[in-house]
Structure 1
């Protein structure tokens, strides 16, 4: 048995948060919303395509934002995204703890932690398998 990749990452969101998710992930971050399988539509939530992986937002009735666990998204222009998030009053936290990895954290509309890393500086880009 060999693990060959990562298919998707799931974040939780509160029931009824689909439009906020679409606004932030789809229109603000420019991620493409992809259709959920027919058998899962009734559960709520929405899915987005990220190159090479999917980001699923699933409804959790006893929702608590993920304040530590998070996806790390590679971006082409980290500083432009930082400025755009700040201008939109999104909570943004700089993190320069790792030399050579240019990144920051931001909170989605539900309070989930997201990490954004400059493409070319990601942890997986530093150490090939």
Structure 2
């Protein structure tokens, strides 16, 4: 299921409006999209008209059961800690507030961004290594 087809500022403003009841959400530009923070916790990603929420071992199965995919900014990198929010959740402020609250609760704070990157297969050979 695809979320709103629009991207850019319109989609960002829509999501931030839907999260208006959440505690002080800060939106920061990053890697061609936007990262969403609340109380110093990186809990969401806006990228190409899609909204991804931070997951953990408890919340992730709910996303997977609904057919949602992890954040994959390109074919080489998958961030398995962030899954796309279902469109019906995004459209319902009350439901989105619950899902966002859970994402905030499992999001790391401080230096560790908790992105859990999975790089593409490592290249063969070494460059100037021992």
Scaled by the length of structure 1, what TM-score is found? 0.31
Scaled by the length of structure 2, what TM-score is found? 0.31
